[in-house]
Structure 1
Amino acid sequence: FSIQNFDICTLFWSTLVLGFSYRSGNNITFMFNLSVVTEQIKVLVRRGDNATLPCRLNRSSQTSFDSSEMRVKWTKLPQHSSEETFVLVSVGIYRKTYGTFNHRVYLQEADENDASLIITNVTLDDYGNYKCEVISGLDDSTNVVSLELEGVVFPYSPRLGRYNLNYHDAATACLEQDAVVASFDQLFDAWVAGLDWCNAGWLSDGSVQYPITTPREPCGGKNTVAGVRSYGQRDKDQARYDVFCFTSDYRGRFYFLIHPSKLTYKEAVQACKNDGAEIAKVGQIYAAWKLLGFDRCDAGWLADGSVRYPISNPRRNCSPTEAAVRFVGFPDKKLKLYGVYCFKASK
């Protein structure tokens, strides 16, 4: 028997008529006593962690139950499309995993009622809602769990300047900075935490929005209320804006390289290589600042050619009014005016 050869519909519905039933004379009575419960609605982890999405069977103690006939199906619900993504399918002792989840997911099975899903080495793309569906005979029950990542949203525009990215360029720009395009929920949470940014940027649903905590001109007007302002859906090919990226924890070491002299961009890249590392990305400096409290008042080159520095403890001559990743700009790469931030990945 090979589960790979099963058609999904066949896998789940071919034996429905076997159901929960018992005979009384010539009659068949069906018993619907199965439900699925979750201990928590949201699971919060960092990238690289293992996540357990709870799902337990709640069934009548009087119900006769054959675990070999039970089907468990985990899917990821679509954020911006119409189709669910298969994650894991289980029939009795047989398992099948799918796509990017292949070899990364399995059922916890702490007991006969446990259908919880364990996702190992959580990635940024794993963020979203997951549906647990359990089928036994004619009994079918589902529940949804949200997987959220602890991380940081940051606005991004390239060297070309403000409003130069269509949606596809924006997605690539975030990916190149060790991040993904932020969702509306992630941007909203960042706004609640105090993010204030006047430039509009793409979000993962194809909308363009920006967060304002202090209403002012020309950011919607002084007499408007604070909030996440929306331009609505925009043409992903033709419209051009900045982008809001989201990143989470990393597996490695982010650091400012101690070097006897200031560096050009090319020298900065080579200096990190000489130290067994690579020049750090914008997402990594934001993650180090937000999640680890990294604080350094030295401006340094990053992989995209920008120069920035992270301040967790505001002070004069560094960032006197707020904790922030300070942006110096995209200077001429031939200037020997800055240090460099490096990143050394864990083996």
Structure 2
Amino acid sequence: SVDLRECVSVVIALDYATELTQECVQIVYLCMVENGHGLSVTSHPSRVLSRSGGNATLPCTIHRDQSLAPNRKMRIKWTKLTFDLLTEVDVLAAMDYHKRSYGSYHGRVHLCGSSPSDASLVIEDITLDDYGRYKCEVIDGLEDATVVVSLDLEGVVFPYSPRLGRYNFNFQDAERACREQDGVVASPQQLREAWRGGMDWCNAGWLSDGSVQYPITSPREPCGGQNTPAGVRTYGLRNKNMNHYDVFCFTSHYNGHFYFLPHVTKLTYDEAAAACRRDGARMATVGHMYAAWKLSGYDRCDAGWLADGSVRYPVARPRPRCSPTRPAVGFLGFPDKKHKLYGVYCFGPGR
């Protein structure tokens, strides 16, 4: 017989430590449904993909022995698991007609309830912070059963360092910087997916679990050695207050319009900000540019100011004088804001 709660803890720890193989997923599934006490819950699929601003249904199906009498006091509880697995964030609790949602989920979550056995959770108006693993727990008298579902978001990971140069963020600074760029600190899983998509970046950056890593697709001497295999290199968990690195941010779709503002002359930073305001918009962030480039195929060879004072340009179609070998977001650094050398990228209401 299997202690389901102990099994789930092992599974979650394993999934955070490494990516699950198909064989492992099958073992996890068997582990989830096996408790031998007439009550179990399952989730199919165990991973759900959505996007910022969208909706998602996290599946949870109750399997209850038919010989058991109906129990109107059966309790359903959804929580979100933190990366360190030490705490859980309450999302929703329900018993019969009584339901309650918590914190930032209040008013955005409800049970699907398509049948008495359906304990699936519906999340509306998804935010970047909703990404992660959720636990569905069903309590029926003295028995309980649990299953874990992952909510993944379609989006893009991008590296970020400040005007001061590389390795100037402690963890709290890194979180603030990603927020300012309309993103959140990326998770290890999100960085690994970005690496699989071809991301190659030699500077080490913070991730959401407090680790510091960087993705290498083309091994070379300055980035861990030419003879080392490609992969995501890690420094492990670091001191969030004392250690300083860059950061990898994650952003998803946004509600609004990202665009290059045509202008007769080149602009200083202040002139660029004023031009966006006159157009009923604001200066775009780095997150806006990466999302438009990766998720919408935005392509423009013109260098333009962004809100953080950097100058960048998104190239979806490689060509001479832009990005000749591969799609990329070009980066010209943080120029003197008084230079009249660039255009501007704006972000405003949807058109």
Taking structure 2 as the reference length, what is the TM-score of the superposition? Answer: 0.88
Q: Percent identical across equivalent pairs?
A: 62
Counterparts of 1:61 and 1:346 in 2: how far apart (Å)?
52
Counterparts of 2:133 and 2:194 in 1: how far apart (Å)?
19
Residue aligned with 2:133, SS = strand
Aligned to 2:339: 335
Please say if residues 32 and 138 of structure 1, whose CA atoms lie closer than 8 Å, have aligned partners that are also in contact: no
Aligned to 1:3: none
| Residue 108 of structure 1 pairs with residue 79 of structure 2 | no
Residue aligned with 1:189, SS = helix
Per-residue CA shift, 1:220-244, capped at 9, x if unaligned?
1111111111112222112111111
- Of 34, 38, 41, the residue aligned with 1:33 is 38
Counterparts of 1:34 and 1:283 in 2: how far apart (Å)?
45
Please say if residues 181 and 202 of structure 1, whose CA atoms lie closer than 8 Å, have aligned partners that are also in contact: yes
Please say if residues 164 and 240 of structure 1, whose CA atoms lie closer than 8 Å, have aligned partners that are also in contact: yes
* Match runs of 1:156-171 below 5 Å: 156-171=160-175
| Residue 129 of structure 1 pairs with residue 143 of structure 2 | no
Shift >6 Å, 4+ stretches = none
Aligned length: 316
Residue aligned with 1:308, SS = strand
**Once the 2 structures are TM-superposed, how far is the Cα of residue 151 of structure 1 from its aligned partner?**
0.6
* Match runs of 1:29-108 below 5 Å: 32-66=37-71, 68-80=72-84, 82-108=86-112
**Once the 2 structures are TM-superposed, how far is the Cα of residue 62 of structure 1 from its aligned partner?**
3.1
Per-residue CA shift, 1:84-135, capped at 9, x if unaligned?
1110000110011111111111101111111110011111111110000111
Aligned to 2:176: 172
**Once the 2 structures are TM-superposed, how far is the Cα of residue 81 of structure 1 from its aligned partner?**
5.2
Counterparts of 1:234 and 1:62 in 2: how far apart (Å)?
53
Aligned to 2:286: 282
Q: Which runs of 5+ in 1 are unaligned?
A: 1-30
Amino acid at match of 2:61: R
Taking structure 1 as the reference length, what is the TM-score of the superposition? Answer: 0.89
Q: Which has the larger radius of gyration?
A: 1
* Match runs of 1:241-256 below 5 Å: 241-256=245-260
Counterparts of 1:307 and 1:80 in 2: how far apart (Å)?
37
Per-residue CA shift, 1:12-54, capped at 9, x if unaligned?
xxxxxxxxxxxxxxxxxxx942211112010011111011000
Please say if residues 289 and 312 of structure 1, whose CA atoms lie closer than 8 Å, have aligned partners that are also in contact: yes
Alignment RMSD (CA, Å) = 1.3
Counterparts of 1:157 and 1:345 in 2: how far apart (Å)?
28
Counterparts of 2:144 and 2:244 in 1: how far apart (Å)?
46
Per-residue CA shift, 1:132-161, capped at 9, x if unaligned?
011111221111100011111111001101
| Residue 301 of structure 1 pairs with residue 301 of structure 2 | no
Per-residue CA shift, 1:267-304, capped at 9, x if unaligned?
11111111111100000100000000000111110000
Amino acid at match of 1:322: R
**Once the 2 structures are TM-superposed, how far is the Cα of residue 57 of structure 1 from its aligned partner?**
1.2
Aligned to 2:269: 265
Counterparts of 2:320 and 2:220 in 1: how far apart (Å)?
25
Per-residue CA shift, 1:161-196, capped at 9, x if unaligned?
111111111111111000111111111111111100
Q: Which runs of 5+ in 2 are unaligned?
A: 1-35
